Structure 1
C-alpha cells in the first residue's frame, strides 16, 4: 500500500517537473517551431483524370509579423498601407470542393475591428430601437391605428354568471360599444357610502371628490371571460373573492385616464348593437400637464377630514407647502405663482426636516399614536385608517403613455374616489449620489428632469447619499437600493407620520381590474390570517 502511494507521488512530481520545464522554455520551443515552418508553403496534390497534378489545399503562412532586430532601427520604416477591406482570394476548385482563402492585408484592421466590436453592437442595437420608434410613429398615423382586432369579446364564456356579492357591484347602463355585441356593465366596487350600514361602522360623512375632468366615473367591464383564462397560472381568484368572470377592455379600462382619449364612440340605446362608427368620438381633451394630482388629493382629504384620525397638533409648515385648493384641476394663469406653489409643496419633506430641532417628529408621532389608541376604544364607529402608496421610480426612467395612465388610475381609484382613504406618492430614486437633494435648487432641477409635470407635487426624491446620512453606522456598500430598499421607506414614514399603513409599490405593477377593489380584498385577506407567524409572512 505504501509503495503504491509512493509511486503515485513520484509520478505526480515527475509530471509537475515536465510541466515546469515546458513553461520555462516555451519561448524557445515556439521560436524553434516557427523557424522551421516560417515562410514555407505546403501543397498537397492529387492526380486528376488526365494524370496531371492538381493542387487541393494551399496553406498560406499566417505569421506575417516579425519582431524587428536592433540593427533594423537604422533603416527608415516603409510607409503604412491604407486600411482597406479584407481581400478575398479567388477560390480554387478541386474535384467537387471549393476552398476559399481569406487574407487579412493589414494587422491594424484586425485590431481596430476587434476593439470596436462592442461599440458596433451597441450602435446597431440603438439603430434598431430608433427604427422601431419611427415605424411605430408612422403606423400611429394610419386611419386604422388603435382599432381593436379579433373577436375576443364576442367569444367570451360564462356571461351573466356571477355570485350575489359580485353582482351587487355591477350596474347595467344604456350604452353599446361598437366592438362588442353585449352592453358593458358599470363596475362600482366601492362601499355604499353614507348609508345606514356604512355609518354604523364609520365615523364622519363621505364627501365625493372630483378627478382630473370633474366628477369621477366608474370604469366599465364586460360579463364573461376568455376560455383560455379559466384559471390563473399563479395565485387564486377565490382566495381573495375576486370576480373571475369579468373582462376589461383597454378603452373602457383606461379611457378615463387618457388612453387614446376614448376614440371609440359610444352608441345610444336606440342604435343597433355592434354598429361600427366611421368617425372617432373624441371627448374634451384633458391637458394633463395642467393637472395637479397632489392638490387634488389634498382637497379630497380636507373634504373628508372628519372621517380620519388627524393629529390635534398642527404642523407649523403646513401653510408653507400647501397649494390653493380652488381650481386645482384647471390650468393656472399665473406661471410665477404656479412655480412658487409647486416648489413649496415638493419641498415639503425638506421643510419638515428643517423643523426637526424646533418641533421634533417624535412628538407628532407620539400624539398621533396616543389619539389612535384612545379612538380604538370606540369600536362601533372607528376612524378610517389612511394608507400611503409609494410608487418606486428612478431617475432616467422613460415615461410612456401607459405609465402615466396607470399612475392616474391609481390616484383616481384609490385616493380620490375613496374620499382620501389612500394617498399616492412617487418615491423617486436619484441614481446620482452627488446631487445634493437637500438643496432646493438641485431638488427642483432633478424633479423637473425625471418626473412628468403632472406628478411633480406627489414626488419625493432620495438618493443613496441622503440615506447614508440617516443611517451613518450602516456600511455604504449595503445602503444601495437593491440591498436596502426599505431604508427610504422608513425615512418617508418619518416625514409623513399621518398614515397608518405604507405600501411599497413597483412602478411596473399592472392590475386589469379596479385598484381599490384589489387592495381592499388584500386587506380583508390579511385581517383573516392568524396572528401566529403573521409578521414573518409579511416579510
Structure 2
C-alpha cells in the first residue's frame, strides 16, 4: 500500500505552463549510445599479414569513416548534454520553494487500471479510502476497500459494452413528439454503418473522485469508464494500416480489448469523406429541424399536434495553417463527427475554422488557391469541412478605429488573433446563420467520454437553470463533497450574497456610458428579485455556456482585465465578466449582439472577456457548466474552497497571480496534470511511471470516467 500512496512529490518544474511536463527523452537519460566492452586481444597478426589484409583506404571509405565518427561524437555529446540538463533540472526542482499545494499528499487512484474494476455501488473513492483508513475510529474501518486484483488472471473482471447515450429514436414515445430519425452511414452506398464505442460498466476501485463538478448534476453517466481501445478502437486506433486503421496499440496491454470486435466491424477509413457523410445525414433528416411550411395553416380539431423541432449546432474547431494533426487527434475528430453529427441524425455539423496566417495568400481571389490552402493544411478525410479566414479579412470586416483603449497589455494590434479570436467566430455566425448554437472548440481539448452525451447533457442542464443567482453561482467552483447538493449550493450562494454588500445581477446592469445598444426586451425581469421563486429562466436555453467560472476581472489582477476599447475614458470602466479559455457554447442571439457591438459601437475586449461581458451587459443567460475536474494532490476541502472561491485579496485569485494553483488539475489553460493524465490514458509513460510494461505487470490500462482535458499540447508517447 505504501508504494501506491507515495507521498514523495515528483520533481515538477512548474514556473510556467510548459515546464510542468517532463522534458522529452528524460526516460532514456541513463542509457548510453556507445557500446561498452572490449574486443578480444588473444592473438596478434604479424605486420605482413596486416599489410596484405588491410583494405585500401579510398576517398569514399574515408568520407564514410569521417561521417560515422561525427555521428558517434554527436550522439555521445547529445547524450551527455541531455543527462546534464536532466540532472540540472532535478537539482533546480529540489532547490526551488514548493507551492503550498505540492505539500499535500499525491493522489494516484486515477492510475488504477481495468483489472481493478468494480460496480459503481462498490466503488470507494481514493479520498474516502485515505480518509477512512487513517481514521482512529474503528467503526470507520467498514468503509475502506482495496482494489481486487489477481496477478495470475489478467483479464478485466467485466466485459466492455456498447455505449449508447442517444434517445430511443424508434420508440413510440419519441416519435409521438419528434420526427423520425433516418439512420446515417459513412459511405454513399450505405453499406458502412456508423460505429459504436465501448465502455466498461464499472469503475476502478479507489479511483480518485473529482474535486470540482458533478456527473450526477449534469446527468452524465458516472457508472461507466472508458479505456483507449473501446473509446478509440472503432475509429481505427488499434488495427493495422492495411485495414484502414492507425496501428497505434503496439505492445500495449490489451487484455479483453478484442471482445468488442465480436460486435463491431473494423472500418477502412482511408476512403471516408466526412464532409459528404455529414451533408447526406442532414439532407435525410432536415425535416427534424426546419419549420414546416404548413405550420401557419389553420388547424382542425382532429389534426395531430405539431412535432417538436430541434435546434442545430455548429461545432467549430479553431485551427490554423501549419497545424500538425497527430493520429490521435484524427481519431478524436472522427469521434466528434460520428457521435455529434451522424449518429444524432444531423443535430450537429462539425466545421474547421482555419486561420490563414499569411495575409499575402490570395484566398479570396482564387478558388484554386482557396482549395489548395485547405488541402495543404487539413488531412484529406476532412477536406470540404473548412472555412478559411485571415486577419487581413477581419481588418476589412471590422475596420479601424477601435478607440479609447484602456490598456493593451499584449502590445498587439486589435485585429491580431491573440486579441480578437472572437472576430472570426462572429463572422462565421453571419455567414452561417442556419445554426442556433455555435461551439467554440480548441484543438488542444480531449475528452474520454462520449461527445453527444457530454455536450447535449450540458445544454440540457443549462436550460433548466433559473436566472436568480445565476451569475453568482457561475462565479464559483462547485465542490460537491463540501457544498452538498446543487440545491444546497444554490442556497449557500444566496446566503453569501445576502450577507455581502454585493447587489445581485437581475437583468441588464445599469452603468454610466455614452452609447450602448438596446438590450433584447425579453431580458427585462418579469418580477423583482425577491419575489422570484427561482422561476425566471427555467426552460430557457443558455446564450453562453463556459467550462470555467465566469468571474469579475476587476476583482483580480488578471493580466488582460483592462484590455477594453470603445468606451468613454472619462467614465469608469464598464462592468465586465470573464471566463478563462475561450471554449464555450454561444447562441446565435449572443453572437449577433457581439457582431453589432463590434461594427456599430466599436466596442472591444480581450477574447476571454468579450462574450461574457456582452452577455452580462444585455441580460442574457450565461452559465458555467460544473463538469468534472480532477486534481493530482489531495487538497483539504476547506482549503480548496478558500483558495479557488474566496481569495482574501485580488492578488490571490486563481485567475491571476494565483494561477499556479491550477497547475495540478485536469482543466485550465496552464494545467499540467491534464497532459500527464491524458498520455497515461493513451498508454504512455510519464515521470518514469506508467507505460506498457507497468500496465502489463500491474493493474492494466487506465479506465477513466468522462473527463474533458485541457491543454494537451502533444501526444508523443514515451514507452
TM-score, normalised to structure 2's length?
0.39
Distance, in Å, in 1 between the alignment partners of 2:309 and 2:257 is: 50
Q: Which has the higher strand share?
A: 1
- Give the aligned partner of residue 288 of structure 1: 269
1:155 to 90, 113, 116: 116
1:481 matches 2:481: no
C-alpha distance after superposition, 1:233-261 (max 9, x if no partner): 43222221222221211011111111022
1:457 matches 2:435: no
RCO higher in structure (CA 8 A, sep ≥6)? 2
CA pair 474-485 structure 1, distance change in 2 beyond 3 A: farther
C-alpha distance after superposition, 1:214-245 (max 9, x if no partner): 11232111122234534114322222122222
RMSD: 3.9
Distance, in Å, in 2 between the alignment partners of 1:495 and 1:161 is: 52
Deviates more, 1:437-446 or 1:152-161: 152-161
Count of equivalent residues: 311
Unaligned 5+ segments in structure 1 are: 1-119, 129-149, 163-176, 266-272, 313-370
Larger Rg: 1
Distance, in Å, in 2 between the alignment partners of 1:454 and 1:178 is: 38
CA pair 284-411 structure 1, distance change in 2 beyond 3 A: same
- Give the aligned partner of residue 176 of structure 2: 200
After TM superposition, give the deviation of residue 510 of structure 1 in Å: 1.1
C-alpha distance after superposition, 1:392-441 (max 9, x if no partner): 11111111001100000000000000000111011111111222221323
Q: Which has the higher helix share?
A: 1
Deviates more, 1:151-160 or 1:411-420: 151-160
SS of equivalent to 2:118: coil
SS of equivalent to 1:434: coil
SS of equivalent to 2:381: helix
- Give the aligned partner of residue 306 of structure 1: 287
Distance, in Å, in 1 between the alignment partners of 2:265 and 2:221 is: 33
Alpha-carbon contact 1:307-1:383 (below 8 Å) kept: yes
Runs of 4+ aligned residues of structure 1 deviating over 6 Å after TM superposition are 262-265, 273-277
Distance, in Å, in 2 between the alignment partners of 1:161 and 1:219 is: 25
CA pair 275-301 structure 1, distance change in 2 beyond 3 A: closer
1:507 matches 2:443: yes
1:498 to 434, 440, 447: 434
Distance, in Å, in 1 between the alignment partners of 2:216 and 2:454 is: 13
- Give the aligned partner of residue 83 of structure 1: none
CA pair 538-297 structure 1, distance change in 2 beyond 3 A: same
After TM superposition, give the deviation of residue 380 of structure 1 in Å: 5.7
SS of equivalent to 2:199: strand
Distance, in Å, in 1 between the alignment partners of 2:310 and 2:345 is: 11
1:385 to 311, 324, 327: 311
After TM superposition, give the deviation of residue 507 of structure 1 in Å: 1.5
After TM superposition, give the deviation of residue 287 of structure 1 in Å: 4.8
After TM superposition, give the deviation of residue 305 of structure 1 in Å: 1.7
After TM superposition, give the deviation of residue 474 of structure 1 in Å: 4.8
1:220 to 178, 198, 206: 198
CA pair 159-234 structure 1, distance change in 2 beyond 3 A: closer
Distance, in Å, in 1 between the alignment partners of 2:324 and 2:355 is: 14
- Give the aligned partner of residue 166 of structure 2: 190
CA pair 179-489 structure 1, distance change in 2 beyond 3 A: farther
Alpha-carbon contact 2:234-2:267 (below 8 Å) kept: no
- Give the aligned partner of residue 353 of structure 2: 427
Alpha-carbon contact 2:462-2:623 (below 8 Å) kept: no
1:418 matches 2:344: yes
Distance, in Å, in 2 between the alignment partners of 1:493 and 1:310 is: 20
- Give the aligned partner of residue 73 of structure 1: none
CA pair 287-431 structure 1, distance change in 2 beyond 3 A: farther
